[in-house]
Structure 1
């Protein structure tokens, strides 16, 4: 069964879909969808046409089937090979890699965001939601959890992707094994390889002892790669190699260790756009995004806000806090750029200081429209507009990122020192 069928919980309306990626050879990085039958060769029409001179004019036929991909060599000169064995006709399940001439092809399930019948529940692990959007999400994740497919959670900062990743693990056959979190955006780039793979004593300055990496710590369980879009480009092929081979080699060590981990990744970035821009590897994207799932922003499920607010007040030790109709309407009418994290901060602020005011979410044009700029020079008016924009942008970003300066810097694409300078300049503080 394909990931799409698993997520649906019912037979697919269309046949199984895969993607063929040219990993090595003259046509490396070329890719094509596979649905039905596809011919591969140097002279094929409407199929995967390669320029590799060691590939025959019509070399092989690929056919997508429910049980996997049927690979049939159609009398090629140099043959088709997989794991050192010459293939004539075979059906390969899941991901499949094979060689023809000097070209290596990878076939993998096509990433798909399939719908699911709503699950009759308001929780999935520690995640809450009674809206149709969350019922659909819980249904997809509940079915996906029972598989070993990689899951990619896509959504804005503060939407609860870590809670959902944990819930996937707890609902999986690996629930009694480790659940290890790796924040790819919080680790210093020079150390992230050591964090992921571990290091041997003396591998670099400061490596005073052997260290197990996060992937080894998660052996038998699930590793959650949070903000995987921040992973340095030079490290991405090393992670891909581990995920495909099931072996980890520590920094400074030639010995490889077998690992068995299920991967759940998350990002607030548009990874398809990152792939197109050359900042994220296509092969790693497809390895992680076997089941991509979009997590809705809080503003897209406003009907969940009263439920979440009551839960957060209860968590804070105030289960009887009076949520008046007027307050509920204000909460549901607010945009929540920081999502559930911002709602939690609001609850804590109400309990700590009695401050139930919500930030001004008017756009900069509305903020500045009240000012008469016509009496100013162009330079002065522009400076006033830039100042208004910067202040509003930083205020909204602080709320969205839960006052986390590192997250603000990553989202804005600025250095932490630059963010601190801007906050000081405009009299803003992390926590205002």
Structure 2
């Protein structure tokens, strides 16, 4: 490393936490590799033709769309989202209660700018979305992890965690949760726990960040009310994304909350990227206005349900006899596997030798040493046939490690 850079890096640059998934892309792209690692949608069901129908808007309104847009977002898209999300949100959001972001990942970053001071504490599920942990960490946050079970975050543990933290002088700034088909755990928070979480938020005056990129991709059961809709105090902010219901390449997300927090996030977005691509917003808005989004979501659900079930059956055939366990998700993208007695760092190395990749569990956890027996596998990208072969290879890796351990 050049000395001139080493001497001038900021504190944040010296301590930045990279994405484990992004860092392993070179490994994943090896020829013949079967990857269950990245949370990638299935490209064969991207609505290419339907999306292309909206291109005419560039001809009709190109002089405006090719110009700088407003930081708050493209009004026609916001108007559509306000109406379309209203059943889930419990109301039609006002336009100043909504911000269009460059993917929902940016919503995490902007919220962090508005809320986190170095040394603050964030309450999260444990495990939780690793890119959220990286974002909060890079803004200087520390973590209080709450264990999860098949019904999501164990909310009843929160009062003791919060009171203990406050007695120790820790400043708890917000609670971060993925309530539907949690990444990576796959569980969905029950309605009873959602209501309890709102009560705790009110009692301790701690806001909630409800991250819901997978909520519309439900295979089984009924949709549950959002935490946002259960709150009447304006203390919940809700983030959604087109990445999982249209395409990640659109890079369009949105966030809904009280106008006070939305305004602060908007000001930070002004300095981050001025505005999300107006062209991308307009194309997404036209796609939605033509009714394609509502027609496409069932296509996604049908495709992913088949793939989830195929992975489940492969697990039963090849991994369950080896003592591996998991929670069957009702929707979303991921399985979270538990490999008793096996460190998944070792398993990853053995699996790569067999040309199959996954993400180890440790980066999803708030405590060092946690998640060492876990792994996250994505089922949405590979075909059922590829999944079967990949799980078979993974089982072979497990067996070989077990044999080494007994020698």
Shared fold by TM > 0.5?
A: no
Which structure is larger by alpha-carbon Rg, 1 or 2? 1
After TM superposition, the score normalised by the length of structure 2 is 0.30
Structure with bigger RCO (C-alpha 8 Å, 6+ apart): 2
Q: Which has the higher strand share?
A: 1
More helix by share: 2
